[in-house]
Structure 1
Amino acid sequence: LPQYLDKDLYPVVTGGVPETTELLTQRFDHILYTGNTAVGKIVMAAAAKHLTPVTLELGGKSPCYIDKDCDLAVACRRITWGKYMNCGQTCIAPDYILCDPSIQSKVVENIKTTLKEFYGEDVKSSPDYERIINKRHFKRVKSLLEGQKIAHGGETDEASLFIAPTILTDVSPESKVMEEEIFGPVLPIVTVKSVEEAIEFINRREKPLALYVFSNNKQLIKRVISETSSGGVTGNDVIMHFFLSTLPFGGVGHSGMGAYHGKHSFETFSHRRACLIKDLKMESTNKMRYPPGSQKKVDWAKFFLLKRFNKARIGLFVLALLAVVAAVMIKSHQSVLKRKALLVVLAVQRLGWPSGW
């Protein structure tokens, strides 16, 4: 970052909990936090002391619904890429799959085939497969495998922080692996019998940061989008909405608040300040808003506030005002001006000028 931005204006501070805690005691114009929901609540509470606005990009369990009516080979290849990239340690990785029981085995076989294409026979020796970030995280992810039906993978090595790409089948919605964001290379499959059941399943849980739907039926995809809530959505792919700078990126509910990327970043970190500079002339036109009140002023107020008038009426108003000013300032050609003023008044009255004109 210092290569591109002034390090004095944009200092980068690295540290742990003590440094972050002290940083949050300072007064800022805006705070953006990326991380888990628990820490997001701490950041928001600290920001509230100074009424500092926050943008929170948190996490959550991003579901991936696979409809029976789709190309499973393509769908599973894209899901495999998004799930196991960086060993599953991305905030918008597909967290779990929802699919009909009749295609569960086909989904597993397609993912297994793709894993072999991506990482070869020996995943552990593949230069393209990463490791878990630290031992604490390794133990947490490994514990999620306990009591689960492992359809593929499951191998672990604490010394090298290796956890193989793993697929879990027939996963119970109440199991531990379905309670928290996995953030690792473990992919549970929960079976549902219909898109209605999938939508209900998603809506019973906290709102995710991302939602993925695979189907040849575009109406089905649109239905899932309209009947659920998430930070973002990609249809027939995963993660790709993140790469489009024209789209806002952010969460909703437990997955965050606010959004950024591209112009949305500029808008997020900008204060939309209302500014108006008026002239000190033409004070007579402002008398309508000054005390004392009168029925005539009330009629004028009703005209401006309650009646719908288009640009043509505004133009007539300006024209009438100019006619009155001209009649006062110009003494010559009075008969001509009177006729023009009369025509203007008649036209305005026809459009519904308020009483008292």
Structure 2
Amino acid sequence: MKNVLSRKVLSTVVAGSLLFSAGGAIVSAAPKEEKKDTGRTEQKVQTGVIKFNKVDDVPRHAKEVILSGTVVLDGPQLVFSISGVKSEDIKITKTGDKTWMYEAVVDVSEKKDDIYFEVSAKTIYANGKTAGTVHTSAPTVTQKIHVPFIVNTFAENPKWAYDRPNNQFTLTYDKVEYWSEGNPDTTAAISVPVNGVEDIVEVHDTTLFVPFAYQDITFSPVNWEFHEPTKTYSGIVDITITDRKGIITTDSVKLTGLKPAMMHTFPYSLTDDIGIFTKTADYMAPEAPEAPVPVKVEILKLTLKPNGGQKVPNNFKVIATYEIHNSDGSIEVVREDDLGEAIGNPHPESGGKKYSPQDYVIATFVYTVTVTYNPGTGEYKADAVLKK
């Protein structure tokens, strides 16, 4: 803003024109004449006339206003005043036998709305017995000027940007000033920081609600589970969600079909007032575990089931029950395993051709099975020996 108008540089104002200073601005205004009927002071009737130049438009943010006009008044010495204005701020110039021109610099930097000035003039006797008494006067006139002022200031067209890692918003808005007269003034794209924990923000005469936003997403490690049929891993990921006010919620997601010894990227998305917030986690799946192998067979029991319905069967099915102890420490119980090929009956009357001993594979191990017959009791017995 330029310096306000100085009285030292005011030029003589011609009747019917107005100079106005608001940071160096000059405004012209057409004169408006305020007249009163004249008469004679001796008859108790005021004979002078005061005319002021109307101030039609006071610019916004004005520092000073010049009031000006003319006085037509008979008499030897003029006494002139404007209410609220110091005499030293008023300049009087005589332009004719009964005519004076006046101008006054008025400070309006602290004023607003309608302001009224009483303009008064009279002449007095300068010498003699009547010195100082009224010679002639003019009716007082009232001049009104309007100093515009800001009625409201609003933040309009708000836009929000969010720095999630630092939980900091940037609010951008248009500052709109509504004046007592005329169109509003707009200052576009003003930016202010807003802490993410705030609920509302007061901007001029506007209350704005801070948008809801998620501030962070974190992921837990995966508890891997290998699925032998598909040769893939699955696992549960626990997700911790923190919003802009520090409130925490959780979620869980199951990952499936993850190939061993490969990096897998898992995205997780949330939608808030700012938009879509996506964060990803990278997980390296373990190597596929080695398949367990049997290391020994325990609690092996053999049962012989005769083939055919004859009294002395030719052969028997060998049925085994046992435990397989694997390399990973697991134990598998096998019940009634038919070992396959029949074994011959050692009974003398069987007519069987395949006599024991005979080799069988049990859980990858080779066992030699021997069937014996006890003539005294008529019982059969099957024994298995691990083959070296």
Q: What TM-score, normalized by structure 2, do the two folds share?
A: 0.17
Larger Rg: 2
Structure (1/2) with the larger helix percentage: 1
Structure (1/2) with the larger strand percentage: 2
Q: What TM-score, normalized by structure 1, do the two folds share?
A: 0.18
